[in-house]
């Protein structure tokens, strides 16, 4: 099973997720989330397939999130608005995002990876 792996190489969480994928011989297409962030449409699709709230796609511990005061902005924002903001700057996106086109995981938790990607 090949998956798409949106990641930021300097991110320690992404490195853990990459190691997990490698250790379990799961083939993936790595996409640098800052250099090639998903489009607004791709983000909307990821949100839809993940079953998660759009707010879960924000990197709330990132500097960009704080600099842009996203906590206040996303309170009343629509999914479309949030997807547009996320697509505009890969540093706003919680990472890594892994998808096979049907399932989507955001962030890295070993139990979630075991459940979804094994």
Mean pLDDT by 10 residues, the chain (118 residues): 93 97 97 97 97 97 95 95 97 97 97 96
C-alpha–C-alpha distance, residues 51 and 53, integer Å: 7
Q: Determine the structural domain holding residue 96 and report its residue range.
A: 2-117
Q: Residue 13 has what pLDDT?
A: 96
Using CA atoms, how far apart are residues 113 and 80, in angstroms rounded to an integer? 27
Q: How many domains does the chain have?
A: 1
Strands 97-99 and 27-32: unpaired
Q: Which pLDDT belongs to residue 2?
A: 85
pLDDT on residue 1: 66
**CATH (domain of 94):** 3.40.30.10
The DSSP letter of residue 75 is T
Query: Number of H helices and number of E strands within the chain?
Result: 6, 4
- Evaluate whether 103 touches 116 at the Cβ level (below 8 Å): yes
Q: CA quadruple 110, 5, 3, 52: dihedral positive or negative? A: positive
């Amino acid at each position: 099973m090949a998956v798409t792996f949106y990641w930021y190489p300097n991110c320690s969480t992404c490195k853990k997720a990459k190691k997990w994928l490698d250790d379990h011989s799961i083939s993936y297409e790595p996409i640098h989330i800052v250099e090639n962030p998903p489009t607004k449409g791709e983000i909307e699709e990821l949100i839809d397939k993940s079953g998660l709230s759009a707010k879960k796609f924000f990197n709330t511990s990132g500097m960009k999130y704080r600099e842009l005061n996203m906590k206040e902005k996303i309170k009343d924002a629509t999914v479309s608005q949030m997807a547009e903001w996320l697509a505009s700057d890969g540093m706003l996106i919680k990472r890594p995002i892994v998808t096979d086109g049907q399932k989507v995981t955001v962030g890295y938790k070993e139990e979630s990876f075991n459940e979804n990607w094994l």
